[in-house]
A and B are shown apart, each in its own frame.
Chain A
Amino acid sequence: MSLLTLEGVTGFYGGAQALFGLDMALSEGEVLALMGRNGMGKTTTVRAICRLLPRTEGRIVFAGQDLLSLPPHRAARLGIGLVPEGRRVFRGLTVEENLTVAARSGHWTLSRVATLFPRLAERREQSAETLSGGEQQMLAIGRALMTNPRLLILDEATEGLAPTVRAEIRSGLAALRDTGLSILLIDKSVAEIAEIADRIMLIEKGRAAWGGAPSELGPEIQHRYLGL
């Protein structure tokens, strides 16, 4: 059953159109990777789903609810956990405070997040801005999990991190996938995405251009849509 459906979604930044009738569907428990070259509309798609885009038209349905009729925070409360681009932690708050500010009752608790990312447990009382880049990203994922989402959205979660940290975050995401959590992932590394994603969707100029399993993403398609 489809958890998230986008039908003919158009999105605008002021007068500039960024999405041109995007169609997309994500099933319960599925890990979908959104890929495409820079400026093709990946982050805009995420912003449209999270109701953070100033103007969105079309139809976005999440868990049977029309998202476009809801204010952004209500959309999030339906169960969409966003890990935004960049390391978006609340500076000045400790690791624990960053996690508790978003907490809603459910499976994910402080101790479960600490089990997933043990480094966060070690730095529980530490101010978030003193964490390393990778730790901040783990914290951002942990904060999104604390909202006990049905869908976790990660926008370039491992961008700019050291390979060992990327691997650590990737193994965390694999563990999340194994719990049956639906994940929408934006990433640039085909090899890394192939390890986690069930399906890949390529975006070109604000439209869905190709969709299929990671194994089907041949060199020709990669060259055409990703410039690889």
Chain B
Amino acid sequence: MTRETALNLALALALPAFVASAYVAEEPFLITLATRAAILALAATGLNLALGFGGLVSFGHAAFFGIGGYATGILASHAQDYTPLMESPFLIEGTQAMLIHWPVGMIAAGCAALVIGALSLRTSGVYFIMITLAFAQMFYYFAISWPAYGGEDGLPLYLRSSFPGMNTLQPLPFFTLVFVVLILAIGFCGMLSASRFGLALHGARQTPARLVAAGIGPFGVRMTAFVISAMLTALAGSLFADLNRFVSPSMMSWHLSGELIVLVILGGVGRLFGPLAGAMLYVAIEHVAGGLTDHWQFFVGLLLLAVVLFARGGLIGLLAGERGHV
């Protein structure tokens, strides 16, 4: 077992262990805090696929996070108001079922990523960053100006969406659900990165011309990664809406896109468990330093600076030492 594998295992166990002790100590707020970390880790895991594995610095992943959130919010709000979402040409009712919210949000985000990717993936560097940012801002302002679903005020949800055989309103079952989804997503990304597709994505990031010479078009590889990445982030957005029982345009703001990038960099770009490490660290600082001062983000800034200057591999790189797979 390499040091990184051991570290990954420790990270995977740390969050459930923390939740178990919070449960024993009867501190449901801490379980909710851990759930928030797991959801942010899932969103950043999605981003890591594009940013870390594909070298695509997307500054617009908040759009996908928000699309996932609004998919849940819109479907759930219609279910709680007993109003259909659409009556013609065919009837679509709202629903509280997560198993419907998730695919709807993921497919919607995947379609949005196809459109955004079709334009942005023809560029690179700062242009790619700016185009993804511009699209996310378009979604943000659209959500603000959409009064049917709360506009700027957002959309409150009275109940948490349902999952078969589970009381999702209880913090512990909801955390368990989120954590299982996170581990499955990380496992999926691990399989993807070790597959031929993952190797080609690595090649597309490093030297597209070499990939072309091998008969693989970098555009298709990048687009696939970008769409999968968007879908994972949308799944996190859907869970985030359920965690807060509230959806608002702020889920699509550029601050959140930046936050997701920070999580990936803190944990380790292109490291499978980097987003989880980054999210745990970020939420811990937010909770601890946020209790001391309103300007807690100052400490995140300091930490980010330290990571960029002294630990390019992020927290995982610093602790594991050796280079990651990508």
Contact = CB atoms under 8 A, between A and B. Distances in A.
B200 A104 contact: no
A73 to B, nearest CB: 4
B210 A88 contact: yes
B199 A100 contact: yes
B215 A76 contact: yes
A147 B206 contact: no
Contacts of B325: 92
A76 B206 contact: no
Nearest to A83: B213
Interface in B195-244: 196, 199-200, 202-203, 206-207, 209-218
Interface string A133-152: 00000000001100100000
A91 interface: yes
Say which size band chain B's interface belongs to. Answer: 20 to 34
Nearest to B194: A97
Interface in A77-112: 77, 81-82, 84, 88, 90-93, 97, 100-104
B212 A101 contact: no
A111 to B, nearest CB: 18
A21 interface: no
Interface string A113-153: 00000000000000100000000000000011001000000
Nearest to A51: B212
A16 to B, nearest CB: 19
Nearest to A148: B215
A86 to B, nearest CB: 10
Max chain A C-beta neighbours (<10 A), residue from B199, B207, B211 = B199
A71 interface: yes
A82 B199 contact: no
Interface string B301-326: 00000000000000000000001011
B52 to A, nearest CB: 12
Max chain B C-beta neighbours (<10 A), residue from A88, A97, A100, A144 = A97
A52 interface: yes
A101 B323 contact: no
A72 interface: yes
A31 interface: no
Interface in A157-182: none
Say which size band chain A's interface belongs to. Answer: 20 to 34
B215 to A, nearest CB: 4
B207 A101 contact: no
Contacts of A147: 214-215
Nearest to B325: A92
Contacts of B196: 100-101, 103
A220 B85 CA distance: 85
Interface string A214-228: 000000000000000
A88 B202 contact: no
Interface of A: 50-52, 71-74, 76-77, 81-82, 84, 88, 90-93, 97, 100-104, 127, 143-144, 147
Among all A-B residue pairs, the 6 with the closest Cβ atoms: A102-B214, A76-B215, A101-B199, A73-B217, A77-B215, A82-B213
Given A73-B212, A97-B199, 15 more contacts: A50-B212, A51-B212, A52-B209, A72-B212, A73-B211, A73-B218, A74-B215, A76-B212, A82-B213, A84-B209, A88-B213, A92-B323, A92-B326, A101-B211, A103-B196
